[in-house]
Chains A and B, each alone.
Chain A
């Protein structure tokens, strides 16, 4: 993994990832923070590519950027008054100090520990290896994950579903104006 190209790519991706992550913290505007988050995700995907984990990189983009971030953006767009900026908080400086400590600790740990790399050379066909482990030794966790998603889906539907009685109870508390708004979707 030598060569100017790799170093250049690593450092520019690192700057994008960390810079965007800092941007999320600094920005008081939700949408700006989201855009930064997406940039950060893309940076991480780039780093995965450098580690020759192409499959993980593509999935990172497909899932985190293509699905999760867009859903989050969607939720923000549908939230009333999402456009307002977040207020100042008194926890700003304590938070900064804490962050500094955490970063210092992480850097110390990262540098001081012998991480005993399992292998040095890039893995060829990482997608195939991942796929084969998922249907071989890790088949059970894979199936548990499927059950987990089912449970989450069932629960989300149960929470989000509007029962008829709910609607009636809800409408009692709405003004005439609000009722017109809620009418269309049922």
Chain B
């Protein structure tokens, strides 16, 4: 068997880079710690550019296990961007509050590698191992602030529940394998060669007018398939923190070092959704009637519970945790909307989901970067501590406000456009009730976002002696870029949407 290793060069480079950073930190303990961060960020940026240059429209696959199509490449670029901004936002924080910088940056890169592989995997075992690579790195990063008991607690909770959910996911995968006898997702690999045996084809009798006698009859495999799907949804639900599997989220977000909270809420979720979308669109599409109600209920519950719980939070990290749970609810609507009459509608839903994901991640990292800059100076993260931030640091105040408005889905900002397209896709697919619920939930969310903005703009600083806060130049630049991106997506989403549509087309070869 000959392999096209050149297709997965970015992944290999990433693994090498992560190991290299750990090794450099180990061998040169006297090296200035900032250099590690700058080096990692520069390397990631370079890799991002090179990936964009060399891999767009490649459309091939590695042994039918990793697809390197536009969908993968889009997410590769996206994840490398997340890693870049996370490392940039971590620099000051890590220097002040963390030890073992080499391992810290190395694990961020390992996690990013896991994310990249999750987006590309079109085989269950590979997807699972990539997911575990991401999860393991995150368990450790969440507990990286060793001497902080909250960090330890967060890491332990996250790890125990994460291990439990991985087991559920794996058990679900084994059921799917049992029913279909294969672990490959879809029939057509990008070469156009028919895979010998694959999940989508094996499930072909679901919803088919004339059953194919060569394939397992739908009625015979339904119980096993449904329990498998329930377990897969539960396992992935844990990873994306959908209700009722969300309990770990606020604690993990609060205890983790702030940059890692940002990484967790952006990268972890985005990667889980990249896997979710490819798995459900490529493999489980024929049986979509079997899982759509399950996901719809989870989505509705997530939107409601996330927003209602967010109303009563006093800590900024916990607020953002519940806000991210609410956002997961909206994103799950996109998965539900895959179940449509025409393939074109499914394609629209997938594109809308990815667009909202990109908008949400850009916004969330912007908000978190501003919070990190604030936290670096003050060491505080309660909502009440933001009081009078507009006077102390107008730039951060503006960024946080822009981000929160965007998360709430106000016009002008990314959140409005992306949500609009997402709910429209849901309505087109026949889930008007979910779209209506999403819109209502967005209005509720406006309340708690506005409470924060009220603290920032309407009150004087609690401590009158509080001076202006200094924000280092690289941080300012990073925040400015992200805020600009939020505006850009909000005002002119067409180029991004076109690119996403082009990439998600890979998931629906017939459309």
Chain A interface (Cβ < 8 Å from any Cβ of B): 105-106, 108-109, 112-116, 118, 136-141, 144-145, 147-148, 150-152, 154-159, 161, 163, 165-166, 169
Asked if A113 and B224 make an inter-chain contact with CB atoms under 8 angstroms apart, the answer reads yes
Residue B126, interface by CB 8 Å: yes
Asked if B179 and A116 make an inter-chain contact with CB atoms under 8 angstroms apart, the answer reads yes
Assembled-state Cα–Cα distance A159/B136 (Å): 13
Asked if B146 and A166 make an inter-chain contact with CB atoms under 8 angstroms apart, the answer reads yes
Assembled-state Cα–Cα distance A137/B125 (Å): 12
Residue ID in chain B nearest A113 by CB atoms: B224
Task: Write the B66-106 contact mask toward A (1 if CB under 8 angstroms, else 0).
Answer: 10000000000000000000000000000000011001101
Q: Give, as a whole number of angstroms, the nearest-CB distance from A180 to chain B.
A: 22
Q: Give, as a whole number of angstroms, the nearest-CB distance from B61 to chain A.
A: 11
Residues of A within 8 A of B99 (CB): 163, 165-166
Which of B213-221, B242-250, B425-433 is found at the contact surface with chain A?
B213-221
Residue B489, interface by CB 8 Å: no
Residues of A within 8 A of B221 (CB): 113-114, 116
Asked if A155 and B136 make an inter-chain contact with CB atoms under 8 angstroms apart, the answer reads yes
Assembled-state Cα–Cα distance A105/B171 (Å): 14
Most buried by B among A109, A155, A166, A169: A155
With A158-B103, A158-B140 as given contacts, are A151 and B133 in contact (CB-CB < 8 Å)? yes
Asked if B181 and A150 make an inter-chain contact with CB atoms under 8 angstroms apart, the answer reads no
With A109-B223, A137-B65, A139-B3 as given contacts, are A147 and B133 in contact (CB-CB < 8 Å)? yes
Asked if A150 and B19 make an inter-chain contact with CB atoms under 8 angstroms apart, the answer reads yes
Task: Name B94-136 residues within 8 Å CB distance of A.
Answer: 99-100, 103-104, 106-107, 110, 113-114, 117, 123, 125-126, 129-130, 132-133, 136
Task: Write the B1-42 contact mask toward A (1 if CB under 8 angstroms, else 0).
Answer: 101000010000001001100100000000000000000000
Residue B393, interface by CB 8 Å: no
Q: Give, as a whole number of angstroms, the nearest-CB distance from B369 to chain A.
A: 24
Residues of A within 8 A of B220 (CB): 113-114
With A109-B227, A166-B147, A169-B147 as given contacts, are A147 and B178 in contact (CB-CB < 8 Å)? no
Asked if B136 and A140 make an inter-chain contact with CB atoms under 8 angstroms apart, the answer reads no
Which of A136, A147, A166 contacts B110, CB < 8 Å? A147
With A147-B133, A159-B140, A159-B143 as given contacts, are A154 and B63 in contact (CB-CB < 8 Å)? no
Q: Is the interface of A mostly helix, strand, loop or mixed?
A: helix
Which of B19, B64, B107 contacts A155, CB < 8 Å? B107
Question: Can you spell out 5 A-B residue pairs with CB atoms less than 8 angstroms apart?
Answer: A115-B178, A151-B18, A151-B137, A155-B103, A158-B100
Residue B62, interface by CB 8 Å: yes
Asked if B216 and A141 make an inter-chain contact with CB atoms under 8 angstroms apart, the answer reads no
Asked if B223 and A108 make an inter-chain contact with CB atoms under 8 angstroms apart, the answer reads yes
Residues of B within 8 A of A154 (CB): 22, 103, 106-107, 110
Pairs of residues from A and B, 6 with the lowest C-beta to C-beta distance, nearest first: A155-B140, A113-B224, A114-B220, A158-B103, A151-B110, A112-B223
Q: Give, as a whole number of angstroms, the nearest-CB distance from A48 to chain B.
A: 14
Asked if A141 and B140 make an inter-chain contact with CB atoms under 8 angstroms apart, the answer reads no
With A115-B224, A138-B65, A161-B100 as given contacts, are A144 and B133 in contact (CB-CB < 8 Å)? yes
Residues of A within 8 A of B413 (CB): none
Residue ID in chain B nearest A150 by CB atoms: B19
Assembled-state Cα–Cα distance A114/B125 (Å): 22
Residues of B within 8 A of A161 (CB): 100
Task: Write the B200-234 contact mask toward A (1 if CB under 8 angstroms, else 0).
Answer: 00000000000000001100111111010000000
Assembled-state Cα–Cα distance A118/B64 (Å): 20
Apart from A151-B140, A156-B140, list 19 A-B contacts with CB within 8 A: A112-B224, A115-B179, A137-B1, A138-B65, A138-B125, A140-B65, A140-B126, A148-B132, A152-B140, A154-B103, A155-B137, A155-B139, A158-B107, A158-B140, A158-B144, A161-B100, A163-B100, A165-B99, A169-B147
Q: Give, as a whole number of angstroms, the nearest-CB distance from B359 to chain A.
A: 30
Assembled-state Cα–Cα distance A161/B99 (Å): 11
Residues of B within 8 A of A159 (CB): 140, 143-144, 146
With A112-B223, A113-B179, A151-B136 as given contacts, are A136 and B15 in contact (CB-CB < 8 Å)? no
Asked if A109 and B8 make an inter-chain contact with CB atoms under 8 angstroms apart, the answer reads no
Q: Give, as a whole number of angstroms, the nearest-CB distance from B354 to chain A.
A: 24
Assembled-state Cα–Cα distance A139/B114 (Å): 16
Assembled-state Cα–Cα distance A144/B22 (Å): 18
Residues of B within 8 A of A145 (CB): 129
Residues of B within 8 A of A144 (CB): 117, 126, 129-130, 133
Residues of A within 8 A of B117 (CB): 144
Assembled-state Cα–Cα distance A113/B146 (Å): 48
Most buried by B among A116, A152, A154, A159: A154
Residues of A within 8 A of B222 (CB): 113
Which of B106, B144, B178, B181 contacts A113, CB < 8 Å? B178
Which of A112, A152, A169 contacts B136, CB < 8 Å? A152
Residues of B within 8 A of A163 (CB): 99-100
Most buried by B among A109, A136, A145, A157: A109
Asked if A140 and B8 make an inter-chain contact with CB atoms under 8 angstroms apart, the answer reads yes
Q: Give, as a whole number of angstroms, the nearest-CB distance from B53 to chain A.
A: 23
Residues of B within 8 A of A105 (CB): 227
Asked if A148 and B129 make an inter-chain contact with CB atoms under 8 angstroms apart, the answer reads yes
Asked if A147 and B113 make an inter-chain contact with CB atoms under 8 angstroms apart, the answer reads yes
Asked if B125 and A141 make an inter-chain contact with CB atoms under 8 angstroms apart, the answer reads yes
Assembled-state Cα–Cα distance A166/B223 (Å): 54
Q: Give, as a whole number of angstroms, the nearest-CB distance from B183 to chain A.
A: 10
Residues of A within 8 A of B123 (CB): 141
Asked if A118 and B181 make an inter-chain contact with CB atoms under 8 angstroms apart, the answer reads yes
